[in-house]
Chain A
Amino acid sequence: AQSVTQLGSHVSVSEGALVLLRCNYSSSVPPYLFWYVQYPNQGLQLLLKYTSAATLVKGINGFEAEFKKSETSFHLTKPSAHMSDAAEYFCAVSDDGNNRLAFGKGNQVVVIP
C-alpha cells in the first residue's frame, strides 16, 4: 500500500524566503505523486503532479517539486514566499493517476511579513 510522510505540521516562513515542504513516499510500484493546496473553506487545488516524465515538475504559483527515486522523496519548493502562499499543503501518492490517493497529514504554512 502506498503512503506519504510529511513532517512538521506547521511551517513558518518569512515573506521572500524559500519555502521547502518535505514529502517522502512509500510505494510498491512506480508512483504518481501530487501536491495539493487547500485554502480556508475551499477544496483541494492541484499544485503539480509527477507522472514518470521529467523528474523536476513545475506547477502553479511558482512552486516546483523534484522526484528523487533514490531518496523516495518529492519535496515542494518555492524560491520566494508571498503572503498569499499561506495555506495548507498536502502531498499525495497513487499507484496510477486514476486511482485512490493516499495523503500525508499536511503542512500548515504561515508567512510572516
Chain B
Amino acid sequence: GAGVSQSPRYKVAKRGQDVALRCDPISGHVSLFWYQQALGQGPEFLTYFQNEAQLDKSGLPSDRFFAERPEGSVSTLKIQRTQQEDSAVYLCASSLAAEAFFGQGTRLTVV
C-alpha cells in the first residue's frame, strides 16, 4: 500500500478485556516496529521484527503484551486483560533502510 495502515483507529476497551491491534506495513519493508505513546509523551519502543523474527521485545511492559508477525508482513499487537495504564496511542512503523515510516496509530482507551 501507499503507507503504513493501522486498525482500528480508535478502540475503547473495558478493563480486563483483551484487544488486538493490527498493522499493515509498507509492502516489501523488512523491519517493523511497535511504539507506545502516552498522552503528552514521546513514543516509547515496544518491540521490533525483522521479517517474521521478533528480534527485540525488551520494551514490552509486561507479559500481558504480545506481538506477532507470522508471515513477515502484517503484524498484530495483543494486550490481554487491559488495564487503565495501557491507555495510549500505539504506533506501528516499517522501514527498509535508514528511515521509518509511521502509521496514524491506534488510540486505545481503557475504561
State the A residues within 8 Å of B (CB). Answer: 6, 9, 32, 36, 41-46, 49, 51, 90, 92, 96-106
Give Cα distance in the complex from A49 to B45, angstroms. 19
How many residues does chain B have at the interface if contact means C-beta atoms less than 8 Å apart? 25
Additional 19 contacts, C-beta under 8 A, given A103-B44, A105-B40: A6-B42, A42-B104, A43-B4, A43-B91, A43-B102, A49-B99, A92-B42, A97-B95, A97-B98, A98-B95, A100-B45, A100-B48, A101-B45, A101-B100, A102-B45, A103-B35, A103-B42, A103-B43, A106-B42
In the complex, are the beta carbons of A100 and B33 less than 8 A apart?
A: yes
In the complex, are the beta carbons of A97 and B91 less than 8 A apart?
A: no
Specify the main secondary structure of chain A where it touches its partner: loop
- Would you list 28 pairs from A and B whose C-beta atoms are within 8 A, ordered by A residue? A41-B104, A42-B104, A43-B4, A43-B91, A43-B102, A43-B103, A43-B104, A44-B43, A45-B102, A49-B98, A51-B98, A92-B42, A97-B97, A97-B98, A98-B31, A98-B95, A98-B98, A99-B48, A100-B45, A100-B48, A100-B56, A101-B33, A101-B100, A104-B42, A105-B40, A105-B41, A106-B41, A106-B42
Give Cα distance in the complex from A59 to B42, angstroms. 21
Give Cα distance in the complex from A104 to B105, angstroms. 18
Number of A-B contacts (CB under 8 A): 57
Within 8 A of A (CB), among B88-109: 91, 93, 95, 97-105
B33: which A residues are within 8 A, CB to CB? 100-101
B97: which A residues are within 8 A, CB to CB? 97-98
In the complex, are the beta carbons of A44 and B98 less than 8 A apart?
A: no
A49 → B minimal CB distance (Å): 7
Query: With A41-B104, A43-B4, A43-B105 in contact, is A101–B98 under 8 Å at CB?
Result: no
Give Cα distance in the complex from A104 to B44, angstroms. 9
Give Cα distance in the complex from A48 to B45, angstroms. 20
A98: which B residues are within 8 A, CB to CB? 31, 95, 97-98
B98: which A residues are within 8 A, CB to CB? 32, 49, 51, 96-98
Within 8 A of A (CB), among B62-111: 91, 93, 95, 97-105
